[in-house]
Amino acid sequence: MSRADAVRIVPLEGWHAPHLEALQVTCFPNLAAAERMRAEHFLHHLEVFPEGTFVALADAAPDGAPLSPPRVVGLGSGFRTEFDLDHPDHTFGEIIDGGWFGHHDPHGDWYYGADVSVHPEYRRRGIGGRLYDARKALCRHLDLRGIVAGGALPGFAHHKHALSAEAYVADVVAGALSDPTLSMQLRHGFEVLGVLEAYLDDAAADGWASLIVWRNPDWSGGAGRSAA
């Protein structure tokens, strides 16, 4: 089994919930505890919009040794929303309703990306990209406009004393700087529409985030949308 074959992207199931809670702590060490999702949130997502959450399961340890049961190593979660790109200011906590996805709109024409995260031991082997691909396939299936999200800027902490968030993001977009998260998102077809102030309770990045979108090239323009 190759390293890529050893990881499956699967729909959310109840037993994943406590493992996803632990994954949040590992993947978002700088985020305030109140902004990390917990097991009860993931169980609730099964009621609200189960199609919107994808879980990466590893059938092998990082060194390739077989694992049974599989290990939860990645998450891509989100919900449907009407998003006004002309008035994009929002915070992470309010849009995800404290993790409950209470603003999920079954007729919303955007997928709001609440979270993509991969365990550090499993990064840089394409799992994050596969989670984005799963979301893109969902957007095509539901005929949504695309994905909109506030993007974490983990590399900004090292530059915030010299650069504004706008200047940092512009340098990452231009390729002059590389950000562990934003550079990867740009390579996966996202575009930056701006920056969001006080988006996250994240002292390292002083709360700044990017506003990113991926536009579904197959979106029909609104005709024949299906609800889910």
From 5-13, 44-52, 125-133, 135-143, span contacting ligand COA (CB under 6 A): 125-133
Burial grade of 108 (CB within 10 A; 0-12, 13-18, 19 or more): buried
Number of residues that bind ligand COA (CB under 6 A): 19
Residue 171 identity: D
Helix (H, G, I), strand (E, B) or coil at 48: helix
Q: What token pair was written down for 212?
A: 């990113």
Q: Does 124 bind ligand COA (CB under 6 A)?
A: yes
* Beta carbons of 201 and 30 less than 8 angstroms apart: no
Binding to ligand COA by residue 181, rule CB under 6 A? Answer: yes
Among 139, 151, 190, 202, binds ligand COA (CB under 6 A): 151
Tell me if 129 contacts ligand COA by CB under 6 A.
Answer: yes
CB nearer to ligand COA: give 138 or 196.
196
Determine the residue with CB nearest ligand COA.
128
Cα–Cα distance measured from residue 170 to residue 172, given in angstroms and rounded to the nearest whole number: 5
Q: In the set 18, 154, 189, 194, which binds ligand COA (CB under 6 A)?
A: 154
User: 105 with 83: CB under 8 angstroms?
Assistant: no
Piece of the chain touching ligand COA by CB under 6 A; list 9-17, 43-51, 85-93, 113-121 = 113-121
